[in-house]
Every structure is written in structure tokens, then in C-alpha cells.
Structure 1
Amino acid sequence: MTTPAKKRLFLLDAYALIFRGYYAFIKNPRINSKGQDTSAVMGFMNSLFEVIKKEKPDHLAVCFDKGGSAERVEMYEAYKANRDATPEAIKISVPIIQEILTAMHIPVIEKMGVEADDIIGTLAKQAEKQNYQVFMVTPDKDFGQLVSENIFMYKPARMGNGVEIWGIPEIQERFGVEHPTQVIDYLGMMGDASDNIPGLPGVGDKTAKKFIAQFGSLEGLLANTDQLKGKMKEKIIANAELGILSKKLATIFIDCDVTFDEDDFELSKPNIEKVVELFTDLEFRRLTEQFIKMFNEGSPENNGLTTTAAPTKNTKEEKPVAGAGQYSLFGNDTSKTAIKAKDFQGFLNHENTPHFYQNITSNYAIKLFVEKLLQQPSVCFDTETTSLNPLEAKLVGIAFSWEKQKGYYIPIPEDDEKANKTLALLLPFFTHEKIEKIGQNLKYDIKVLAQYNIPVNGALFDTMLAHYVINPDMRHNMDVLAETYLNYQPIKIEELIGKGRKQISMREVPLAQQTEYAVEDADITYQLKRFFEAELNDANNGKLFREIEIPLLRVLAKMETEGIKIDKAFLTQLSKELEKDILQLEKTIYQEADEEFNIASPKQLGDILFGKLKLVEKPKKTRTGQFSTAEDVLAELADKHKIINDVLAWRGLVKLKNTYVDALPKQIEATTGRVHTDYMQTVAATGRLSSNNPNLQNIPIRTERGKLVRKAFVPRDENYVLLAADYSQIELRIIAALSQEETMIEAFKRGEDIHASTAAKVFNVPLEEVTREQRSNAKTVNFGIIYGVSAFGLSNQTNLSRAEAKELIENYYKTYPKLRDYIDDQIEFARENGYVSTVMGRRRYLKDINAKNHVVRSAAERNAVNAPIQGSAADIIKVAMIKIQEELDKNNFRSKMLLQVHDELVFDIHKEELEVLQEMIKTAMQNAFSLSVPLDVDLGIGQNWLEAH
């Protein structure tokens, strides 16, 4: 007679899994369109679903802490007292998780004053006696003490790792014990910092294991202290009671007032409609699909619900690979059977997500493909190339998809003549005005195709840009989006081409793998478009996406392709001058320190300033215990010793030389002789563009030597000049308009110097008597208000005392009372709605606006004020850029728009077009958006950027 298999009970440690899930997303929090941080809920549900899918448990329950452990706090008041406050996002998430569990008919077990550890311990031991195998689902090592022949720790998978199941052998190996109950002695000896259990001073992991091997238990150790020596003996004798207390605190109770009832804990069919309703409200599309697939697939009744989960893989008989062209591209049209099978190679694969991807190789087959392609209203395409630099990249192939889990790949020959013939066949698609082109980071594809003289016409939909508009604080690369929205992990590029020295070109990858990788990208991007289109409309951001971000994509592609000329000889000479000054500063610093040392080494510099010269009594230190020599730390000590200013000057010159003067010539593109920065639309959450390779937005302009770098940027030849067009104080004008502060609005309308005007009012002096220092202080407040400047911050930025700074801010708000009201209104709106908006509807979600932690909440409040101002300025200059480029294109001007640096645009202007374009550019910028305050634009012209600026 065979023994019946044991039933299995899974007990989930709720808070451990919730915290783990929340922090797994900490660098990429899941924020929905309402501004709600759903990371904790999503992380926990992922863990729960993983258990249900993998283990198909008979019985399951989720155990929560409630009010902490009353008994342990009574034993030791400081128990868990050192823990940080629970993040607000987790506090808000717990009731939601419990509501979902209730709808899933999964028991939620909690008891006031009892920890989940003790609930799990009690239930595990009860179930074991009823012939159950018990799996404690938790990452917490403390549960090792409960492990037995039928009780196991089930440690959830982390990224890239499988689940770990710890039985007795694993506990023995991990803790160096003979029996799992000795884990309590191990914890009692070494303590537990996370729970504030003190343990025995001086006893760590290795020592605890040694003592357990030698004495068997904590009590055994304390009874044999005569066998110990030195300070360790003294410490253990002196702290014996602390050790006994620690062991009690570390012991998981197994006699709580809870009862295991197998009927109550049996996993049963959930209330599907309720769970879907909750998931829909949270905007968990992927989890909804998973849930329906797990609990609803195969049911006779589908409760009116449908699943978009991937279908079961088809057999070859159902979808033959041979002659796949007839199946996938032409349906049942047998007139195409003359095409050879080798012209179409189909692939039905990739783990559990069946799809049908084809490559098409002959020109005749490509022509037939294009016929089909031109019938589609919307198509996703994706280029595969030999380089990430679009100006150097050669096309290897192009993938297309217009139907979920189906797509096509056209390899592009390496030979230029053959490549152009293949691309000529595809040209009707790219030039077709009525076919929408979908892509991920389309700017790159457009720039690559431009090298082959192929324009990309018609409407565009860029999934990277769409997601940026929807959720600017998340990451927007395709792998993240696929995993977040489609629960799908795409093939990594490293799997095809490797990395480092052994990296190969995409052209060297076998055609079948190229097809699989490239079409997958197009397929996934096509699927993502469906999600994002709906979300853009839900958040009323469709117009911003279609009328600003997408047109700007084309503008930036032209600017980046154009590039700007660099005077390499000037930079070479400037580098020599800087090198000379740097060496002179080094000699001076060595004299001041009375020894030579590595100025670039924070440790050596710290030892000189604070160890040898002892500039301050209690210098700041880093986390590693070294003296801090950070910029702000040194700036505060500038009056202590001349060496500080010399070190700061040395750092400034070294950075200028290394980052710009020496680096810019190396970034000149060999094929064009110019520098081509890459403008990124999806980095700054406020809507601002950022610049990379090289970063032209961080060129220092506050120092005379820093300004000289701009002198290296020159027109293309003697027939051109550079023109710089700069919005004057646009952020102050926007805050005046949004707050409707009449005093400030009138000052702008009269064309007054706003900083002098502000100084006259807050210091109560006539405008003509305002001093340079008063104007400077007023300027600091004017710009500081946008960033929530405090009296402390203002005093640090000026020569004012904290009391004077406080008085100045108070006078400022008395002068501009509506500004205070506007700031308060913005913060209140953010509290109620979870986001703020620019003048053009761009949203910034503020997940911490209602946080209990003052520091976290204050940062969100500052963003509530700053984001609409900075974001509106960004939106306005983007509109101006679009309008200017339209005029340049429409009139076939030879002049080009080259750079955007915050509120400034730089143009390469043909001298014959200068007069007309000065007027056009200024008008376009001033009329980009209508405010109650005029937008003022300053124009400058020169033979280099410094002159023009």
C-alpha cells in the first residue's frame, strides 16, 4: 500500500515580500496615470503569482504584522526601534493588497500585537502535525529555526536566480549548526541589526558558528566562559544577560492564538471580476492578463472576460514553416506559390510566446511584401545597423510588424549598390504620407535612413516618447517597457553580438538570429503602441505628444545630423595655456601645503587640509570615514586658508581642460568635420532637453576661462555667421503670468530690469538708487523662489545673515503676495491630484507629495512649484523650434538651426539671409505661446558662439 502524498501549505510573510517588491522597483518605481506608486502592490503580486504558477499549492495563506510584537517590546523597549519609518507608498498599499487577497479568496491572517513570524511559526507547526508539508515564503533568514523534515523556507527568486528551498541540510550549511533550532542561539549570539537585537558584543557570523560548534548553545557558551581568553571572555561574561535576552527576542513563537483549519486555507477559485476591477483601477494590464490566464483559462464560462495572453504554440501541421510565405504574408492566395520557399524563412519559437517571424531575401519576394505593406494603415519598423552612431552606421536589415506576434525582416546587403537596390524597393513605404510609422527611438532610425537619402514621411508614433509623456520619471528603454507592460523579456543584444573585445558586428550574426532579434523588437514596439495610445488619451496628453514631442523629434534629427563646426586650432592653443596655469597652481598648492601630494586624490587632499593644516576642529567625513573634500564643503571653508581657493581653481581648470578643451576635438565626426551632439527628449522629467556626446548644456559660462570654450564654436565658412537667440528671464515671466502677480507683470510690461525692480520694492529704495549688491540679492531670491529657497539657503548664496535672509524673503512675499498664493495652490493641487502640469498640459507626477517624512515631502513640494515653471519654459522653446524649422524648410533657407541650450537657440546663418531670419526667429520665439507677460528675446551675432551670445 502506497503512502498518500502530503498536502502542501504555503505561508507568505506579507511585509517581507511587500518591502522586497517595493525596493526591487526603487530605481524604476511603478507610477500609474493617477500618480499612484503601485510598486509595493505589483512587487507583492508578482511574488504571489510566481508561487501559485510554479507550485500550484493546495493550501495558502498570507500573514501580516499588526502593531508589532507587544511581548518582545515588553521584554526590550528598543526592539526594532532603529527601523526607518515605513515608506508612505507601502502604508497605502497594504489595504489594497489585503482587498485583492480577499477578492482572491486567500486568507489574510493577522492579530494585533503579534508578528507575522510568530503567526507563520504557529501555523507551520500545527499543519506539520496534520501531515502537511509547509513552505514559509520569505527572504528572512530568522525562519531557519523553524525548519524541520516537513517545514521548509521558500526564498523567492531574485532577478536571474531561481527559487531557493532551504531544508535541514541547507540550514546546517548556512548557519553552521547541527539542528535548525540552534539558529536561535546563532541569532542570540551575533544579534540582528535589522530588528535591533543586541547580541553579544564582538561576536559576528564566524565567531557565533565557532561557539555553536564548540559549546552547542548560548547557554553552553555562558557555562564555559573559563575556556575563553582575553577581551572576548570579559565581554561575554559582562553581557551574559544581554545574550539571554537576545536569544529570547530572536525566538519565533509557535503558540500564538491562531488555528490552522485546512478548509479555510484551501486555495479556491477567486472572484475574477472583482480582482480584474481592482487591477484595472491600479492599471495592472500585464498582471490582469496573467491573472486571467491562471484562473480563468479553460473555464466553460468566461465571465465576459477575454485574455490577451499568448496562445498555445501551434504545431507545424497547423502553421507549416515550409512555404511559409503563403501562410503568413499572402494567406490562402495560391497564385504566389511560384516563390521559392528559401525566399521566406519562418520561425515559430522563443520559449512560451509563440510567434511567426519571417525573413524575406529575394527582390521579387520583397516587391510582393511591399504590396502588402502599402495596404497597412500603421506599421512598426526597426533598423538593425553596424553602429550606435547613426552618422557612421550601415544598415544590416529592417524589421516590420503590423500584427501582434507576427513580423518580417528584410536583410540589407553589405555591398552599397545592392543595398541601394533593396532600399529602393522599400522607398514607397517610407515616403507614403498616409501610413503611420511606429518605432522605439525613431530619431535614430530617421537619422540612419537619411544617410541613404530615404525620408520617413507620414505620421509617427514613438513608443519611447509616448511613455516619457505618460510617465516621465520611469525609464523608457524597450526592455523595461516590455517587462512592465507585456510581461516579456526580449532577447538581449549581448546574446547576439557579445560585448567587450569579443563583440562582433550585427552583420556577422546568422540571418535566423538577426530575424528573431529584429522582428521581436518591431513586434514588441507595435504591441506597446496599443497601451500607450490609450494612456495618452486618458491623461489628456495626446495633443502634447502629437503636436510637440513628435514634430520636435524630426527637428532634432535635422539639427543633430547638421552638427556644428569646431575651431580645433583654437582649442589646442587654449589647452596649452590651461596646462601652464594648472602646473603653476600645483606649485603654489605644494608650497602652501609644504609638501607635494596628489591634489586629485580626495584622501590625500583631506589629509593635508584637515590632518596636517587642521583647518577646522571637526571636519566632515564621508561614509567610509575619510575627510570630505566635496565642492560644497571646500566652498564653505574658502576664508580659512588660501590653499582652499587655489584647490578649487585647480579643480575648475582641470575639469575645463579634460571635459571640454581636450575632449571636443576628439568628438569631431570624421565624415563631416563637425561635432554632433545628441539631444535626448526622454531624460529630464520636467520636459527639458538634455545634451550628450558632447554635453553642450554644461559648458561653464560663469568664469572667464569657461566662456572661452564657446569661442571654439564657429560658422561653417566665411559666408555664414552664428546667431544666438535667447529668451530673457523666461522662467520669471512664466511664474509672473501663472501667479497673476500684477506688480511683477507690470514691471515686465514696462521693460524694467526685473531684479532691480524687485530690489527697489523689497529694500524700499528708488529704482535708480538700487545698489549692485541689492540687485544681486534680489536676483538670488527671484530665481530661488522657483526652487523653494529657504532663509538658510539664501544666506549661503549671499552675504546676508540668516536673519537678514529671512527678512528679505518675508518682504519679497509682501511685495508679491500672489506668488505665495500660487505656490500654496500648486502644492494643494498636487496633494489632491498627485501631479502638476505645464501650460501645455505636460504632467509631472509627485508620488511623495503626501509623504509623512518631512524631507521627502518638501522635495515633492518644491517640484510641485518648479516643474510647471521649468516645464512650461521647455515646452515654449520646443514650440518655437518647430515653428522656426517649418519656416526654414518651407522657404528652402540655406541657414540651419544647430543648437538648443536651455533657453537659447544657436543658428548658422547665411549672411544673405541674416536680416529676414533675425525677424523671423525673434517673432517665432516671442509668439510661441501667449502669456499675460510678453516673452522677450535677445539676439546676438558673431564669428563664434561667445561673440553671438
Structure 2
Amino acid sequence: MSKKLVLVDGNSIAYRAFFALPLLNNDKGVHTNAVYGFTMMLMRILEEEKPTHMLVAFDAGKTTFRHETFKEYKGGRQKTPPELSEQFPFIRELLDAYQVQRYELVNYEADDIIGTLSAQAEKEGFEVKVISGDKDLLQLVSKNTTVDITRKGITDVDSYTPEAIAEKYGITPEQIIDMKGLMGDSSDNIPGVPGVGEKTALKLLKEYSTVENLLTSIENVSGKKLKEKLEEYREQALMSKELATIFRDAPVEVGINNLTYEGYNEEKIISLFKELGFNSLLDKMGAPEAGMKEDLEDIQFERVTAIDETILQDEAALIVEMIDENYHRAEIVGFGIAHAEGQYFIPAELAVQSSAFKTWLCDESKRKYVFDGKQAIVALKWRGIELKGIDFDLLIASYILNPADSTEDMATIARAKGYAQLQSDEAIYGKGAKRHVPEEGILAEHIARKAAALCQLREQMLKELEENEQYKLFIDLEMPLSFILAEMEYQGVKIDSGRLNSMGLELGERLREFERNIYELAGTEFNINSPKQLGVVLFEKLNLPAVKKTKTGYSTSADVLEQLADAHDIIPQILHYRQLGKLQSTYIEGLKKVIHEKTDKVHTRFNQTLTQTGRLSSTDPNLQNIPIRLEEGKKIRQAFIPSQEGWVIFAADYSQIELRVLAHIANDEKLIDAFNHDMDIHTKTAMDVFHVKAEEVTANMRRQAKAVNFGIVYGISDYGLSQSLGITRKEAGKFIDRYLESFPGVKEYMEESVRDAKAKGYVTTLLHRRRYIPEITSRNFNLRSFAERTAMNTPIQGSAADIIKLAMIHMAARLQEEKLQTKLLLQVHDELIFEAPADEIEKLKELVPEVMEQAIELKVPLKVDYSYGPTWFDAK
């Protein structure tokens, strides 16, 4: 068997991982992104390289023997971020768990350790692989040594052999040192020869081979300036080469034979991954199936054959287990109950036939802890069973505590809270085509464990909610909202199938009309939906300028075509054709597929625990994304009708709610005054930004003011505004500057939001909803800029989301109090849609605006517009 030694530059890989990944934290607040990235690299190495021997080398300290030659060596480097420093002990612990040798040597760098060991290994006939993010190590490449340099990510690498170096640089590995001597290395503060870059250095080395040869032949070098620089910095070039040279005879005390790799310690790795919160890696290495099964303690539970009072207590955890996420049609595979007396599995058939169990389920006085109460309520209601008395919802609590984690797997949430006695649903049921219900013994234990976990986690999570000042958000907003959403999902919205079919026929004719126009403009027939064929027509036949190319040909993406909108009449036709095609497939045909055969309704599912801002979204079907800016898209709403004869659709939406929230949060006097005097806010903005009177504001000024008003809410950049308004970035930047000068309160709010996020690591809404923003301290400019925009806009968007949720809760209470038949059907962004008997409309015209406008008290009034009609389309 051939011997293979893998040598890893530990510091380099750790740094790469830290800066390549956003800041991650475990549940104790310890940063883990560098450890995570390092782990990913380590797993890849072990899987792909299969080393017989391995070592990870680290720098021992800041000072090395090179500082004696040049005291400014590595002098320009910034101090290691504390968020990275705190992760090195975990990286060392990780290597120990993987049983990989690690080593550092005082007065030497990791490079010198790697250089020394690779030289020894070559002599002993080893194949050597070196892994680093630092190209200095390319000088070690030889017939037997390959160097892998990490790219932008962590696990992607470029492999360098002597042939690869020759192909890329046109020099030998030994000449890498000479190249560094001439061009220097800013990352190590190696000066080189000023004015000599990589291109010049390579040209000189191809002619003179080494720095020494070059310096003895300066008179032959072409270019007066270059000659002068080489002469002036002769000694600096030689010193730079010396600094760049890896020392291959360092006093390394560990021998090659001590570096044998014999496999990892699974128990230690699982323990460490649990501590770090690396749940996906636990799954990846097979821990949930291989390790955790052995790790799980025995659980005492009872398979119930007869339901009695000892099981149905006044307070208990309840699991309603389904394995299909579409719980409108999902089969319930069993129930779990846990309380102080024990844990129980109840077979589904026994439970749904037990009148005692069904009575307990619908008894409001019996307090139940659940995981995803909305799902359980709807699933049971479809089977004619009421579920009431829900007192705690683990999924909602987890979402409030960590909105970035959108997992709906209970085991993942439990592990993050230190509870490891539960396997993932995937481990039990499988996934995709292999998803199945296991034999009853496995199923029973899994469901009983879930119920036990609920009991264990409830107190801990309630305590965390209290500590975060989020208990009221949980108990007064999200919990009651889940019951309202459950009712809305069950209620559904009636669809006029006949109207939908006729719209489909109309759209089909419109699409054929566009096809004919496109063929005529192209001068040929082709498959418009084929990017390849379309690219040939546009960029070869019609000779339009190719904006972007892909591996398979010309790019014909929407952004490319939009840039060419004025270049040819065919482009607007293609864009419109695509939009109509999406309407036809996604909304006309898509809606037909999800109409319930028994109710003639669509029963969308509202995602309450998905978005980081707190906004609701919907799926199966997604009713929040119907493209209403397109007239044909808006008409799709004609198919949404009341469920009863003589009823109408009533729609009410908040006017400019996010700008009103901004005025309140930013406490900007001008914005507050404008809203309090019911001014058109876009006209007011234009007046202040352009320094004109109201009557002097043109339509274009108002359009620009509107763009910046809403852009500010979403943290728009000068680039974003320039694209929106069709102006230059410079003009857009000036516009934003003028806006912030005009509204100093907004400017102060934006700056304060970023400061707060950097100090705390999160921002909050008016109702204390948090969004964690670890990227706010990233060294990566793009990540940091996005995080800063997020810090500015999340409190606004999140507060607006909280307000409409409050309105839904207050509205449901008032409808019940007033004994109205009106039903809340949908929530779409800032809009609530009801169906109501015609004789309740006059009452709704007073009640709905009153309730929505009084949902919360702000420094400015909330304003609600309403409309109604026979369809959703007519109600807008």
C-alpha cells in the first residue's frame, strides 16, 4: 500500500473559513463559523485524500526567525479578530477528536514545519499533499508533492503540480521564491522591488531564471525605469527572496512515523458537534443513525390499548404525528402524550374512535403543549375533531427565539437546546421516494420521545422568552394568531373554476398572438422557451449585443433582456410573452391543481415560522405573489369569489404602513408632521428634497421621491435607486444624501440601527421581535453592507408585520363580539381579505378601519383603505 502524507496549514485554513462564512453562533453565543468551515475541509480531506499519515501545522506565535532579518515582517497584518481567536481551542479539540496530529514550533511558522516534513517524506517515498490558502507554499511543489490552494469557499481547491505551475506562471516551483523576491507580498509585508508586479516579475524570471542572475545582469534589462528600480532595491530584492523562502530543515521534533492516521473517535466528534450545534454535520457523518441511536437513553413509555383518565390529565404534552407536510390530506400515524405520570403512544385508529380522547382534545380547560399547533388543529378539523386548550407551541417559541432557523424538525430544535434524546424525522421515516411509516415499535418510541421532549423543553424555552422580553410576543400575538390562521386555512377561499378556465383560454390566445409577433420580428419560427434557440436568434441572426455568456451559450435571462429593451422591438414582446406564460402555468394551471375536490376551494397554508422579519407567507398555492402589476395577473383575482350566494368580498389594507412606522421609530419631526396633517408623503418628500413648493412638484419629482421613500424602508443603495429610476449611481447617491439631509431623524435612526446591531448582534421590532445579524461585523464588504441594510429595514418591516398580525387578532375578537358572520379569508402583505353577507357591509365599513387603525398606538395615525365587490378583483 502506498504511503500518503497530508499536511495542512492550520492558521491559513482557519482564517479562510472565518472570512468565507458568515458569523455563526451556537446556543451559548460562542462563534463557530471558522470551526464549521475547518470541519468541512477536514471531512473532505479524509474522504477524498484517504491519508495514511497526517498533520496540521500551526504558527506558534507572532515572532519568528524572519523578524531578525526584517523586523517589519508581517507588520501590516491586522490583529486577529477576537471572534476568530476564541475558535482556535475548538479547532484543536476538533483535531484531537479526529485523532489528527497537530504541531507548532516556537520561532518558526507553519510553512516551515510543512516544508521540513514534506522534504523528509519525499526522501522516504511518500506521496505528499499540502493544503493551504497561501500560495507561498507553491514553492514546495515537486514530482511527489502536490499543493492544494483553497479558492473563495472552503472545500473548493486548485491543485498545483509542477506542470500546473508551468502552465499558469511559466516558471518552476523553485522560482516562486524568486517571483516573491521581485514582486513582494503585501499580506506578509515582504517589500520586493517597488513597481514590479507579477507580470514583470514573471517576464524577468523567464529570461534570467533567478533574482541573483537578474541582479548580475541589470545592464541587459530593457527599460530605464526598471533598471533604476532594480539597482536601487537590489538588497531589498535579495532580502525579500530570503523572507519568502520556506525553511526546510527546521528542528521539528515529530517524526513522519508518528503521524499515522488510523481514524477518528466518533464519540468525541458527536459530543463536540452537539456542543457546537453542528446538527447538519451530525446528520452528514451519520450520527443520528449510527451514533445517536446508541447514544439515546432508554425511554419508558406505554403503548396504549385503552384510553383512561390516567392518560388524559389536566396538563400534558400532545403530539399529533403526520409524515406528509400537506396536513390537509395527511394521514395521522399516531398520537403521543407525556406528563408527570409517564409517556404514552396512542395508535391513530384507537384515538380517533375514542370519545373520551376526542372530548379531552376539545376541552379548553385541559392545557396542552404541542409542536406546530396550527398543523395539528387543521389536520384534526379535516377529520371532524376539534383541538382546543393549546397552551404552548414549541415551533412558534423556537421561531421567536431564533428566526434564522426555519427548520420544522423537532429533533433539530431539541438538539440546539441541549436535548439529544430524539432522532430526526428523516432518520425514522426516510426522505423523498423512500419516505415510509416504520414498524409500530419504532414509530411508537419516536412519538413518545417527541412528547417527552416537549415536556423537557417547555420550561427552558419559556424562560428564554422571558429573558429576551419576548413572552408577550409569544403568548399575546403569535399563539392566538396561529389559531386564527388555522381557521383561515380550514375555511379556504372559493374558486370559480369556470372563470379560471375561460381566463386560461384567453391567455392561451394572447400567448399565440405574441408568438406570431415574435416570429414575424425574428423572421423565423423557433422555440421561444429555449434559451439556446432564443440566444441564436437575438445575438446571431438579429446581431443584438451579447450582454452575458454562460457555459451553454448566450444568457437570455430577464435582467439581460431588460437591458436590451430599447435595442429591438422583439425584446418587449419576449418579456411580455414570458410573463403571460408564467401566469398560465403557475397561476391558471397551478390553481386548478390545488382546488379541493370536496370544497371547490383553495386551502393555502400560511407559513408563520419562516421569514426573519415576522411576515407571513403562503404556499400550496402562494396567494401573496400573484403578479398584480400586470393587468392579466390582476384579473386572476376574478376567480376568487365568496363561498355563499349573496355574499361579497371585502378587502382592507394599510396605507403606507411602513413609512408611518419609519416616522414613529425614527421620530422624524417632518415625517410625523406630514402624516399628522394627512399630506401626500411623496409630494412632501419631493418638496423637501428639491426645495420647491407643493404646487411646483412635478410628476417626475414625485415618482423619484416615492422611489426613495420606499427604497429607504428596504435599505436601498445608490445602485438600487439608480436602477429603479434609470439615473446614474452618482445622481442616485446625491438624491439619497439630500433625502437624509431633509429628514435628519431618519438618518440618525439608520446610523443608530447599525450601531445597535454591531453592539448587540440583533435588531428588534416595536413588539420585541428579534432578528440576529451576525454578518454585521463581517470583513467581507458585500456581506457587511447587506447586514447594515438589514439592520435598518428589519425594525420597520418587522413592526409593520407585527401590526397587521395584531389587527387580525383584534378583528377576530370583534367579529365574534359583534356576532357577525363575516369571515377572514386571507392576509396578503398589508391587506386583509374577508367574505361577508351583503347586509354586513355597512357595519364592516366602520368596524374594519376602526379596528385596524387602532391595532397599535404610534406617533402618527394609521390609515386604512377598503373596497368590496363580487370578486377579489372587484374589491380592489
Q: What TM-score, normalized to structure 2?
A: 0.75
Q: Does 1:621 align with 2:564?
A: no
What SS class does the counterpart of residue 685 from structure 1 fall into? coil
User: 1:386 and 1:739, CA in 2 relative to 1: closer, same or farther beyond 3 A?
Assistant: closer
Q: CA deviation at 1:525?
A: 3.8
Is the aligned partner of 1:382 residue 2:319?
Answer: yes
Corresponding residue for residue 898 of structure 1: 825
Aligned to 1:362: 305
Which residue does the alignment assign to 1:653? 580
Matched with 1:524 is 453
In structure 2, how many angstroms separate the alpha carbons of the residues matched to 1:64 and 1:455? 65
- 1:588 corresponds to which of 507, 517, 523: 517
Does structure 1 residue 93 correspond to structure 2 residue 83? yes
What is the aligned counterpart of 1:552 among 481, 484, 488? Answer: 481
Tell me, in whole angstroms, the C-alpha distance in 2 between the residues paired with 1:625 and 1:816: 49
Larger CA deviation: 715-724 vs 190-199: 190-199
Q: Which residue of 1 aligns with 2:250?
A: 256
The CA deviation at 1:432 is 4.6
Match of 1:885 among 812, 820, 826: 812
For residue 38 of structure 1, the aligned residue among 32, 40, 43 is 32
Question: AA paired with 1:587?
Answer: R
Secondary structure of the 2:295 match is coil
Question: Which of 433-442 and 837-846 deviates more?
Answer: 433-442
How many Å apart are 1:484 and its aligned residue? Answer: 3.3
Shift of 1:560: 0.7
Alignment partners' CA distance in 2, 1:251 and 1:608: 56
By how many angstroms is 1:539 displaced? 2.0
User: Please, which runs of 5 or more residues in structure 2 have no aligned partner?
Assistant: 1-5, 44-53, 132-138, 152-156, 168-172, 176-204, 211-241, 260-271, 279-287
Offset of residue 19 of structure 1 = 6.7
Q: CA deviation at 1:842?
A: 0.9
Q: 1:116 aligns to what?
A: 110
Deviation at 1:402, TM superposition (A): 3.4
Alpha-carbon offset, residue 614 of structure 1: 2.9
Q: CA deviation at 1:411?
A: 0.3
Pairing partner for 1:670 from 593, 597, 602: 597
Q: Secondary structure at the match of 2:249?
A: coil
Which residue of the partner structure matches residue 747 of structure 2?
Answer: 820
**Aligned match for 2:628, one of 692, 698, 701:** 701
Using the TM superposition, give the Cα deviation of residue 572 of structure 1 relative to its aligned residue in structure 2, in angstroms. 0.8
- Residues 1:609 and 2:549 are matched in the alignment: no
Long gaps (5+) in structure 1: 1-9, 50-58, 126-142, 150-166, 175-181, 206-216, 220-236, 243-247, 266-283, 291-309, 314-348
In 2, the alpha carbon distance for the partners of 1:531 and 1:62 equals 41
Mean Cα displacement is larger for which, 630-639 or 915-924?
A: 915-924
SS in 1 for 2:633: helix
Q: Deviations over 1:417-439 (max 9, x none)?
A: x65432x2223543454554222
Contact 2:26 2:276 in 1 (8 A): no
Distance 1:661 1:410, change over 3 A: same
Q: Does the 8 Å CA contact 2:319/2:337 hold for their aligned counterparts?
A: yes
Post-superposition Cα deviations, 1:252-305, rounded to whole Å, max 9, x if no partner, equal 8663356569xxx9xxxxxxxxxxxxxxxxxx9952999xxxxxxxxxxxxxxx
Instruction: Map Cα deviations across residues 302-339 of structure 1 (whole Å, 9 max, x no partner).
Output: xxxxxxxx9xx9xxxxxxxxxxxxxxxxxxxxxxxxxx
* 2:380 counterpart SS class: helix
Deviation at 1:886, TM superposition (A): 1.9
Structure 1 position 564, deviation (Å): 0.3
Task: Tell me the secondary structure at the aligned position of residue 662 of structure 1.
Answer: helix
1:853 to 2:780 alignment: yes
In structure 2, relative to structure 1, the CA distance for the partners of 1:431 and 1:19 (3 Å cut) is: farther
In structure 2, give the amino acid aligned to 1:855.
Answer: N
Q: Which amino acid aligns with 2:305?
A: S
Distance 2:209 2:497 in 1: 75
User: What is the deviation of 1:117?
Assistant: 5.4
Report the CA distance shift for 1:145/1:705 in structure 2 as closer, same or farther (over 3 A): farther
Work out the CA distance in 2 between the residues paired with 1:432 and 1:496.
Answer: 32
| In the alignment, structure 1 residue 371 sits paired with structure 2 residue 310 | yes
Q: Distance in 2 between matches of 1:171 and 1:927?
A: 72
Structure-to-structure mapping, 1:272-291, within 5 angstroms: 286-287=274-275
Question: Equivalent residue of 1:940, what SS?
Answer: strand
Q: Is the Cα–Cα contact under 8 Å of residues 481 and 808 in structure 2 kept in the other structure?
A: yes
Distance 2:450 2:374 in 1: 16
Counterpart among 345, 353, 361 of residue 409 in structure 1: 345
1:609-758 equivalence runs, <5 A: 609-616=538-545, 619-622=547-550, 624=551, 626-758=553-685
Q: Classify 1:45/1:544 alpha carbon distance in 2 versus 1 (closer, same or farther; 3 Å).
A: farther
Q: Among 773, 785, 788, which residue is 2:715 paired with?
A: 788
Matches within 5 A, 1:210-609: 255-256=249-250, 259=253, 286-287=274-275, 350-363=293-306, 366-367=307-308, 370-374=309-313, 377=315, 379-385=316-322, 387-402=324-339, 407-413=343-349, 420-422=352-354, 424-433=355-364, 435-478=366-409, 479-486=411-418, 488=420, 490-491=422-423, 493=425, 504=436, 506=437, 509-609=438-538
Give the letter aligned to residue 393 of structure 2. D
After TM superposition, give the deviation of residue 675 of structure 1 in Å. 0.3
Answer yes or no: is the 8 Å Cα contact 1:190–1:204 preserved in 2: no
- Residues of 1 paired with 2:561 and 2:479: CA distance? 45
Alpha-carbon contact 2:27-2:277 (below 8 Å) kept: no
Q: 2:482 is aligned with what amino acid?
A: L
Contact 2:32/2:276 (8 A) holds in 1: no
> In structure 2, what is the equivalent of residue 832 of structure 1?
759
Residues 861-870 or 443-452, more deviating: 443-452
* Structure 1 residue 185 corresponds to structure 2 residue 142: yes
Kindly indicate whether residue 835 of structure 2 is the aligned counterpart of residue 908 of structure 1: yes
Q: Secondary structure at the match of 1:371?
A: coil
* Distance of 1:757 and 1:102 partners within structure 2: 60
Give the Å deviation of 1:697: 0.8
Residue type at the aligned position of 1:392 = R
Which letter does structure 2 place at the counterpart of 1:603? K
Using the alignment, how far apart are the partners of 1:28 and 1:827 within structure 2? 16
Alignment correspondent of 2:186: none
Residue type at the aligned position of 1:619 = V
Displacement of 1:716: 0.8
Tell me by how many angstroms 1:926 deviates: 0.6
Amino acid at match of 1:551: P
2:746 maps to a residue whose letter is L
C-alpha deviation, 1:518, in angstroms: 1.8
How many angstroms does 1:584 deviate by? 1.9
Q: Is the 8 A contact 1:28 1:474 kept in 2?
A: no
Identity among equivalent pairs (%): 36
Measure, in 1, the Cα distance between the counterparts of 2:374 and 2:797.
24
Map residues 72-91 of structure 1 onto 2, 5 A cutoff: 91=81
Which amino acid in structure 2 is aligned with residue 255 of structure 1?
A: D
Amino acid across the alignment from 1:407: Q
Q: CA deviation at 1:547?
A: 1.4
Q: Distance in 2 between matches of 1:461 and 1:593?
A: 62
Secondary structure of the structure 1 residue equivalent to 2:464:
helix
Q: CA deviation at 1:862?
A: 0.6
1:286–1:485 Cα contact (<8 Å) kept: no
Matched, 1:63 2:58: yes
